[in-house]
Amino acid sequence: MRNKDIGIKKDISARLFLFSVGFILTIVLSGIFLALYLSSDHNNEMLIKYGIEVEAEITTYHRVSEGGDNNHSYNYETEYSYTDTNGNTYKGTDRIYGSESQAAERVGEKRIITIVPNSNISSPKRYSELTRLNYELHLSLAIIFLILIPALGYLLFYRGIYRNELDKKIIIGVEHRELPISQGEVTKVVKWVVCYVKVKYQDESGATKEKWARSWFTHKEAKFLQQKRTINIVPYKNTYGILEEMSISK
């Protein structure tokens, strides 16, 4: 059998590490998914949501150059055009060919493109060929992780760093005999993922108070405190710390 500290002397370094990692990860992941959403091609998103296939015509071509200043090579890119019944015209580039004659041969040909009606958005691809990216998923994940940032910030900075420093002050006060160890009565226990313990005690001025302990407890720890009922606490200003040890098997 060995004793395990409960309350203000409990080592929470592992919890602080997890909170820190979780806090950093939520910031990084929210930034990544937000960047993915903001940098995404929203024209493609519109094409996937509202696109329809129409028959366009290759109307012309133009020369495009490749290579550096001293090493030019030229290709030729065809252009398409489509005008709907409302007079809206959709234009774009189609394909690149290695020679002018190949591009010139395509002028006048018909091909299927995808457009968004009542807009100027079009793609030389058929609807089934469009790349389906998870725009809405990226935005949803970005929002979820943005919401988690303040939640994990609360766990890290308040329930972790701040309360750990407060417990250290109480421990130092006990060690220097500046803070007395008192008795408190466990009056209520609420069990969830973690457990909360309510204690009736007398504060430093002698007034009787009944407050929830600041610390979180495991189910075994809460059961131990509930069964013991009268426990050691250290009143400090407007709060207190539980100072107990629980016997556990090796």
pLDDT in tens, 66-84: 655 555 678 999 999 999 9
132 or 54, higher pLDDT? 54
State the Cα–Cα distance between residues 130 and 231, nearest whole angstrom.
Answer: 67
**What pLDDT, on a 0 to 100 scale, did the predictor assign at position 43?**
87
Task: Concatenate the DSSP letters of all residues of 161-211 into one string.
Answer: IIHHHHHHHHHHHHHTTSS--EEEEEEEEEESSSEEEEEEEE-TTS-EEEE
Task: Please compute the mean of the pLDDT values over residues 51-55 and round it to a whole number.
Answer: 96
Model confidence, pTM: 0.69
Closest CA to 78 of 60, 65, 64: 60
Sign of the torsion formed by the C-alpha atoms of 143, 144, 150 and 153: negative
Beta carbons of 96 and 63 less than 8 angstroms apart: no
**What pLDDT, on a 0 to 100 scale, did the predictor assign at position 68?**
54
- The number of helices, as runs of H, and strands, as runs of E, in the chain is 6, 11
Count CB-CB contacts under 10 A for residue 154.
Answer: 13
The chain-wide mean pLDDT, for the chain, equals: 92
Closest CA to 10 of 218, 157, 235: 218
